[in-house]
Amino acid sequence: MVRGRAAGPGPLRAAEPFDPEGAEMTDRTPPPAAGPAALGQPTNAARVSGGARALGSGSSVLPELAEAPPRTRRWWLHPAFLVSVGLTFLALAGALAWWIVSMATDSSVRVEGLSASVESGNLRLDWSGPDADYQLFVVDGDGAQTDLSGLVRGTEAWIPAAAGLADDRSCFVVRPGGTEGEVSLDAATLSGQRGASVCAADASS
């Protein structure tokens, strides 16, 4: 019995020659490996996800600003109040000026019944007339005149003896307040000024 010899390798086949025309050439460049993203640049995943995001989705909404409450103006600073105060002031000032002028030019004010008397050593002058302003002058023996209107109280005036404002030669002129013109003892002048005069020598005691 003859053992079979193991079959040896087959005959080598000659390499086929390379045919450049029949070969199919492909130019495939592998994609670059994903490296670390540069600082400040989005990654590929972020670019893809950002491009696929729906318009307006995920955007933040600005909060609504609360409307400031209207500023209330204090009532005494209101233009209408200021105007009313100004008009009231003007009306009062005009009324006061009219009253002063009317009292000064009132033709009904006339000094009548002027008399002089000595009481407790002081000289008292008294006359008749409405409640108005009056002028009082003292004329000494030399004709010098002194205004004593500050001593008038209503329709009378007291001349203190201790003040030395008058003597036995002195005379007094009383006329309505605001009267213009020369102070005179002349009867015609006094009549035109609606005034009167009396002398200390004629005072009753």
Residue 43: predicted pLDDT: 52
Domain total for the chain? 2
| 118, 85: one domain | no
Distance CA 157, CA 163 (A): 14
Q: Whole domain around residue 86: which residue ranges?
A: 75-105
pTM equals 0.49
| 79, 138: one domain | no
Residues 6 or more apart whose CB falls under 8 angstroms from that of 104 comprise: 133, 176, 177, 178
In this structure, is residue 194 part of a structural domain?
yes
Q: Report percent pLDDT > 90 for the chain.
A: 33
Buried b (16+ CB within 10 A) or exposed e, 83-110: eeeeeeeeeeeeeeeeeeeebeebeebb
| 165, 182: one domain | yes
Q: What is the CATH number of the domain that holds 144?
A: 2.60.40
| 126, 173: one domain | yes
| 88, 149: one domain | no
Asked whether residue 196 carries a pLDDT value surpassing 90, the answer given is yes
Average pLDDT over residues 45-49: 47
Distance CA 103, CA 109 (A): 8
Q: Which two tokens stand for residue 180?
A: 């213009």
Give me the half-sphere count of Cα atoms (radius 13 Å) on the Cβ side of residue 107.
1
| 121, 156: one domain | yes
Helices (H), the chain: 44-52, 79-105, 187-192
pLDDT in tens, 86-127: 889 889 998 888 777 666 555 678 999 999 999 988 999 999
Asked whether residue 71 carries a pLDDT value surpassing 60, the answer given is yes
| 122, 149: one domain | yes
